[in-house]
Amino acid sequence: MNIHFDKVIPIPLSGISHSAQSIWGSSFSLNKGEKVMLNASSGKGKTTFTHTLAGIRNDFNGKIRFDEKEITSFSPTAWADLRKNKISFVFQDLQLFPQLTVEENLQLKNQLTDTFSAKTLKEMLKALEIEDKWKVPCGILSMGQQQRVAIIRALSQPFDWLIMDEPFSHLDEENTQRSLQLIDERANQLNAGFVLTTLGEDHSFNFNRTLNL
Ligand SMILES: Nc1ncnc2c1ncn2[C@@H]1O[C@H](COP(=O)(O)OP(=O)(O)OP(=O)(O)O)[C@@H](O)[C@H]1O
């Protein structure tokens, strides 16, 4: 699935002047398989961009198309199917269930599409050095540990695009690199792309494209 932006401007940001490099108001396409970074300072619209792209909000002018279909035309059922099979998301506030264990949080998503065995999920936790947290409620994990769980949860479904809103904001560089490697491997396995927003960090990763706000 390719994503096309045609002069999109979120209504709350429409009264503000945007630089010539800004994606707001411009037309461009994100092609399946591309690895994209959006780096912008606080309040510039990273969350607005990711939520708009994922159909979580629709207060924008212009057009967004997935392949040839305008996303404002999708029914709730079509969105449910897209979110199950084509678009996965790491929210800035993670949206884990704090009372549920890591296992339960992961399986809630994973079992919808029967993507990974428990053994594979545990291996992914091990790759991010949180394998001892399998039976621990998410609410008592550190923020960086919760981010790693949210990343693994987002990988536990099929997708064409993984959209991540500041997914490494509580991680040190070593854990960021481990997470990026896991994300990259999974994206390559699926021939999928990802969009990652950051707050000024310069991750050492070979992104195909950088977007500006
Ligand atoms: N629904 C809304 N109505 C009005 N203004 C909004 C709405 N949503 C976001 N904004 C404004 O749009 C701007 C961009 O917000 P957004 O959360 O997208 O920024 P951000 O780049 O993700 O910030 P941060 O890095 O601090 O998370 C802010 O000024 C915010 O107040």
For residue 57, the CA-to-ligand 1 centroid distance in Å is 12
Candidates 44, 48, 59, 195: which one to mutate for ligand 1, based on the most atoms within 8 Å of Cβ? Answer: 48
pLDDT of 104 over the 90 cut: yes
- The whole-number average pLDDT for the span 119-133 is 98
Q: What is the ipTM of this complex?
A: 0.95
Average pLDDT over residues 70-95: 97
pLDDT of residue 37: 96
Confidence label for 120 from pLDDT (cuts 50, 70 and 90)? very high
Q: Residue 16: CB within 6 Å of ligand 1?
A: no
More confident call, 204 vs 153: 153
Mean pLDDT computed over every residue of the chain: 95
Pocket flag, ligand 1, residue 43 (CB < 6 Å): yes
Q: How far apart are CA 139 and CA 172, in angstroms?
A: 20
Determine if ligand 1 sits within 6 Å of the CB of residue 13: yes
Share of the chain above pLDDT 70, in %: 100
pLDDT at 204: 82
Q: Which two tokens stand for residue 114?
A: 């029967």
- pLDDT of 202 higher than 90: no
Instruction: For 96-134, give one letter per residue: b (16+ CB within 10 A) or e.
Output: beeeebbbebbbebbeeeeebeeeebbebbebbebeebb
Residue 19's pLDDT is what?
A: 84
Angle at 73 between CA 69 and CA 77, to 5 degrees: 105
Residue at 201: amino acid letter = E
- pLDDT tens-digit map of 57-81: 999 999 999 999 999 999 999 999 9
Percent of the chain at pLDDT > 90 equals 89
Q: Specify the CATH number of the domain 31-58+76-211.
A: 3.40.50.300
Whether ligand 1 lies within 6 angstroms of the CB of 51 is answered as no
- What spacing in Å lies between the alpha carbon of 71 and ligand 1's midpoint? 21
pLDDT band of 54, cuts 50, 70, 90: very high
Question: 173: burial class by Cβ within 10 Å (0-12, 13-18, 19+)?
Answer: exposed
Beta carbon of 42 within 6 Å of any ligand 1 atom: yes
Dist. CA 43 → ligand 1 center (Å): 5
Q: Kindly state the tokens that stand for 85.
A: 């099979």
**Closest by CA position to 1, among listed 107, 92, 108, 81:** 81
Residue nearest to atom 10 of ligand 1 (CA): 12
Q: Is the CB of 45 under 6 A from ligand 1?
A: yes
Question: Does the pLDDT of residue 201 top 90, yes or no?
Answer: no
The residue among 140, 134, 136, 120 whose CA lies nearest residue 185 is 120
pLDDT category, 43, cuts 50, 70, 90?
confident
Distance 144 CA to ligand 1 centre (A): 23
The answer, yes or no, to whether residue 199 has pLDDT greater than 90, is no
Whole-angstrom distance between the N-terminal and C-terminal Cα of the chain? 23
Distance 44 CA to ligand 1 centre (A): 7
Q: What is the pLDDT of residue 167?
A: 96
Q: What tokens appear for 18 in the block? A: 């945007």
- Sketch the domain layout of the chain as residue ranges: 31-58+76-211
Whether 44 shows a pLDDT value over 90: the answer reads no
Q: What is the pTM of this model?
A: 0.95
Q: Ligand 1: which atom is nearest the Cα of residue 213?
A: 21
Of the ranges 44-48, 62-66, 109-113, 158-162, which one carries the lowest mean pLDDT score?
Answer: 44-48
Alpha carbon of 35 to ligand 1 centroid (Å): 24
Residues 6+ apart with CB under 8 A from 61: 7, 8, 9, 11, 14
The minimum-distance atom of ligand 1 relative to the CA of 49 is 18
